[in-house]
Structure 1
Amino acid sequence: MGNAEKFSQDAVLRARVLLLGSEQPSLRERLDAYRVLATASPRAYLPKLFDALVERANELRDPDLDVVLYGEAVDAARRFGADVPDGEERLNRALHGYQHALFAVGRRAEGLAVCEELAEAGRYSRLAVVLAEEGRHGEAAELYGRHIVPGAGDDVSEWTLIEWAAELDAAGRHEEALEVFARVVDDHRHRAAEDRGPLASLVWKLEQYARMLRAAGRRAEEAAARREALALLARLAEGGEPVSWSNIQAWWVTLLSLSGRSAEPAATPEAPLPAFGVHLVHGWSPDIREEHFASIPALERQTDALRESGDLPGLIVAQRRLTVRRALLWEASGRRTEESLRPSFDEGVALARRLTTDPAALARALTDRSMFLLAVKRYEEAHADFAEATALQGDAPIVTRT
């Protein structure tokens, strides 16, 4: 018997003794034991090794170690036999964790390859997001279109439809984007009518829909959407939400960030940006999220310089970009106090009031603040701001606020 074979048998014996001992081994000890035993008895121990690797990654939450652990979990899952329960599902779960870890450490090309493998297995959403982050909006829109059945609203989440509409719009396919987003609005109308969806969320969607209609030159439909939103705000101001809802601010923040995409530079594979229209926490790649928030100090310095220079139009644009980032950080941090974010929206309105030659800028700032006030349940103030914004666009009496 050679030394290597004897060592292997000794290692297997020690691993078995460890697992069968009277004391419960630590996760790290079990993981080491499963690594040894999976080489000797893969059918019995590969699934155990897989589970321990995923558990260890969840315990450590270290991006560099996650790459190693999830990479090993992917390898283990690929070696599963056909008799392993949920083998394909477990492989996809490991691939999802692996791509997330790769993006977290900046290895985007490898992460993209993993996302492509997931897409081949029907898990296409991450690939669509990564394509969007790299400015490949036409490819992302096509990917959504291949997997979403027209009219199958019950089988497709609102989040997915919004992502698809955002990519169609970014790809210049504006009429198709409107058709998809109309499905989002219509579905929420039906649910809200049955008290199965919050009115606030419907207002945010109607405001985004109106913005898209305006860009498409469909002014009569835009005005109708804004009047519908205004009526809902009046109802909220009078009696509040008919049913209690929680944790819906992500809808507002997602649509706010989508509204600010045109002010950002175009994304490219060499300079990726967030996939605007995608849920910040559950959708953005971790490296993109980190870089976007890291840009806040530089944007703060830019706005300070613009204040000093007296460039009011430039300041309004930069200040809104900064406000959108602060709103995203507000949502991501979980510390959603009104006081921490309201000054940004108040400043946006104050600056726009000074630019008397551009009522559209004031309408935009008032609408922004209205949607924020709606998120923090300041319904009467939200209604007043939106009424003034609507009037500035020629659709209602003006009610002036400071």
Structure 2
Amino acid sequence: MHHTENRGHMGDTAKVDQDAVLRARVLLLGSGRLTARERVGAYRVLAEVSPSAYLPKLVDALIERSYELDEPELHVTLYAEALAAARRLHADAPRREGRLSRALSGYEHALFAAGRRAEGRALCEESAEAGRYGRLAVVLAEEGCHAEAAELLGGHAGTGDADPASDWTLIEWAAELDAAGRQEEALEVFARLVDGGRRGASADSAPLASLVWKLDRYARMLGAAGRREGEVAARHEALGLLTRLARGGEPVSRSNIQALWATLLGLSGRPDEPAATSGAPLPAFGAHVFHGWSPDTREDYFASVALLERRTAALRASGDLPGLIVTQRRLTVRRALRWESSGRRPEDALRPSFDEGVALARLSPVDPGVLARALADRSMFLVAVKRYGEALADFTEATALLDGLTPPPIVTRT
């Protein structure tokens, strides 16, 4: 590793070394292709004598150089320098805002990845003051400040059917309201998400699968709030959509939407996790696993897979079925989130986890809700991998368990 990476030149007050300037110019005028490290060195010198020409290039080269290194503290150093350089750009400089945003985002990410969470949070607070509030909401959620996160998200999401809030914003907002104990408000926000999904499905502008996942989550939320009638209606609406999928498949082209399924699954597992605190942060369940979670919480969360695997093995050996069911589901949720974000996703790598969840639940005769949840979990996964007939069979059984032997008529909304 080159320790000279730690040497910053921005803001030097000493007289510029003219020999260094000449060497930098000669280097840049050479015929060979320069490495990012060489360009950084040259631009550092030249940015002091010609900032308008070389500060933008220095920002770009510093960011490019960071991609070549895997040492967290060097990332912090390079991005700190890139941010300082970006802030020196003239207000009219081309692409100034884009460079500033990239440097700020990269610096904040590097601080969290290096375990410097307090500094990272301070940077998120600075960004929020400038209107970029999303990262601060995530950090607040990770540290258990769910009411504050909900207020921040709600203050920007707006109200009414015509507001521009994205699906992801609504999911995060509802998640934080729910975590803060504001169930009714969470349901109102999630209902907006479901209504938007219905409009998209009815216009054949959005996949039915995404609405199925939203309805399944909505039904679970309604059940937790004691709103039985709404829970049954949402579940049967999802069942009707699954019937359509099993008969004819998706009516519209479906892109990679599995992140939505995995995010909602992860959110459903939050009650089984310990409470997040500033001293022991957890992922912001409801945020996208890679575009939302902070790198330190993401790393810790996935690092716990090995521990949970050992714990499930011990619980199997001890015969503690209730404890095994809970722990095995926590493990399955982690595997699903890692599977979805891995890039290469063979179905067989994950399906055994859902199959085991159902098998374990069938051994538990006390509460039919345990088996219903395991079946619904597997059904939503099967939708994700486009096995709609099997998904329908699982969800039909789950619905019968929850509704009784004579379920109400199936209601479809699309």
TM-score bracket relative to the smaller structure: over 0.9
The answer as to whether partners of 2:258 and 2:340 remain within 8 angstroms in 1 is yes
- How far residue 345 of structure 1 moved from its aligned partner, in angstroms, is 0.9
Name the CA shift for 1:396/1:121 in 2 (closer, same or farther; >3 Å): farther
Relative to structure 1, is the Cα distance of residues 304 and 108 closer, same or farther in structure 2, using a 3 angstrom cutoff?
Answer: same
Partners of 1:49 and 1:65 lie apart in 2 by 16
Matches of 1:224 and 1:266, distance apart in 2 = 31
Question: Deviation at 1:335?
Answer: 2.5
Residue 280 of structure 1 corresponds to 289
In 1, Cα distance between the equivalents of 2:69 and 2:406?
58
**1:253 to 2:262 alignment:** yes
Letter of the 2:145 counterpart: R
CA contact under 8 A between 1:388 and 1:397: conserved in structure 2?
Answer: no
Q: Could you tell which deviates more after superposition, 255-264 or 340-349?
A: 340-349
Q: Choose 331-340 or 100-109, whichever is displaced more.
A: 331-340
Deviation at 1:268, TM superposition (A): 0.3
Are 1:293 and 1:325, in contact at CA under 8 Å, matched by a contact in 2?
yes
Distance between the aligned counterparts of 1:357 and 1:301, measured in 2?
Answer: 26
Deviation, structure 1 residue 151: 2.2
* Structure 1 partner of 2:250: 241
Corresponding residue for residue 90 of structure 1: 99
Residues 3-402 of structure 1 mapped to structure 2, 5 A cutoff: 8-60=17-69, 62-151=71-160, 153=162, 155-394=164-403
Name the amino acid aligned to 1:223. V
Matching residue's letter, 2:332: T
In structure 2, distance between residues paired with 1:184 and 1:342: 28
Cα 1:235–1:152 change in 2 (3 A) is closer
Distance 1:80 1:343, change over 3 A: same
Please report the TM-score for the alignment, with normalisation by the length of structure 2: 0.92
CA deviation profile, 1:168-196 (whole Å, cap 9, x unmatched) = 11011111111111111101111111111
Alpha-carbon distance in 2 for matches of 1:196, 1:358: 39
Letter in 2 for 1:264: E
User: Aligned partners of 2:363, 2:26: CA distance in 1, in Å?
Assistant: 77
Opposite residue 215 of structure 1, the aligned amino acid is A
CA distance in 2, matches of 1:20, 1:152: 58
Letter in 1 for 2:346: T
8 A contact 1:100–1:286 mirrored in 2: yes
- In the TM superposition, residue 247 of structure 1 has moved relative to its aligned partner by 1.2
Give the 3 Å change call, closer, same or farther, for CA 171–5 of structure 1 in structure 2: closer
Gaps of 5+ in 2: 1-12, 408-414
| C-alpha RMSD of matched pairs (Å) | 1.7
Amino acid at match of 1:128: A
- Measured after TM superposition, the shift of residue 378 of structure 1 is 1.1
- The answer to whether the Cα contact below 8 Å between 1:387 and 1:396 also exists between their aligned partners in 2 is no
Contact 1:390 1:396 in 2 (8 A): no
Q: Tell me how far apart the structure 2 counterparts of residues 152 and 113 of structure 1 sit (CA, whole Å).
A: 34
Asked if 2 retains the 8 angstrom alpha-carbon contact of 1:223 and 1:395, the reply is no
Structure 1 residues 319, 23: CA separation in 2 closer, same or farther (over 3 Å shift)?
closer
Distance (Å, rounded) in 1 between the aligned partners of 2:273 and 2:245: 33
Partners of 2:116 and 2:40 in 1: how far apart? 26
- Decide whether the 8 Å contact of 2:263 with 2:285 is kept in 1: yes
Question: Distance between the aligned counterparts of 2:386 and 2:97, measured in 1?
Answer: 44
SS in 2 for 1:295: helix
Q: 1:396 to 1:148 in 2, by over 3 A?
A: farther
Contact persistence 2:201–2:207 (CA under 8 A): yes
| Counterpart code for 1:308 | A
CA deviation profile, 1:68-90 (whole Å, cap 9, x unmatched) = 11110110112122231242342
Paired with 2:43 and 2:19, the residues of 1 have a C-alpha distance of 14
State the shift of 1:244 in Å.
2.3
- Say whether the 8 Å CA contact 1:299–1:322 is kept in structure 2: yes
**Whole-angstrom distance in 1 between the partners of 2:97 and 2:15:** 35
CA distance in 2, matches of 1:68, 1:299: 35
Instruction: Answer yes or no: is the 8 Å Cα contact 1:275–1:284 preserved in 2.
Output: yes
- Structure 2 CA distance, aligned partners of 1:352 and 1:67? 47
Q: Which amino acid counterpart does residue 256 of structure 1 have in structure 2?
A: L
Which amino acid letter does the alignment assign opposite residue 310 of structure 2?
Answer: R
The gaps in structure 1 that reach 5 residues or longer are none
Pairs aligned (count) = 395
**In 2, are the aligned partners of 1:162 and 1:181 still within 8 Å (CA)?**
yes
Contact between 2:219 and 2:234, CA under 8 Å: does it hold in 1?
yes
User: Once the 2 structures are TM-superposed, how far is the Cα of residue 121 of structure 1 from its aligned partner?
Assistant: 1.1
Q: Does the CA contact (< 8 Å) of 1:92 and 1:118 recur in 2?
A: no
2-structure distance, mates of 1:365, 1:197: 27
Q: Is the 8 A contact 2:157 2:163 kept in 1?
A: no
Tell me how far 1:43 sits from its aligned partner.
2.5
Q: Distance in 1 between matches of 2:343 and 2:36?
A: 31
2:36·2:62 contact (CA, 8 Å) conserved in 1? Answer: no
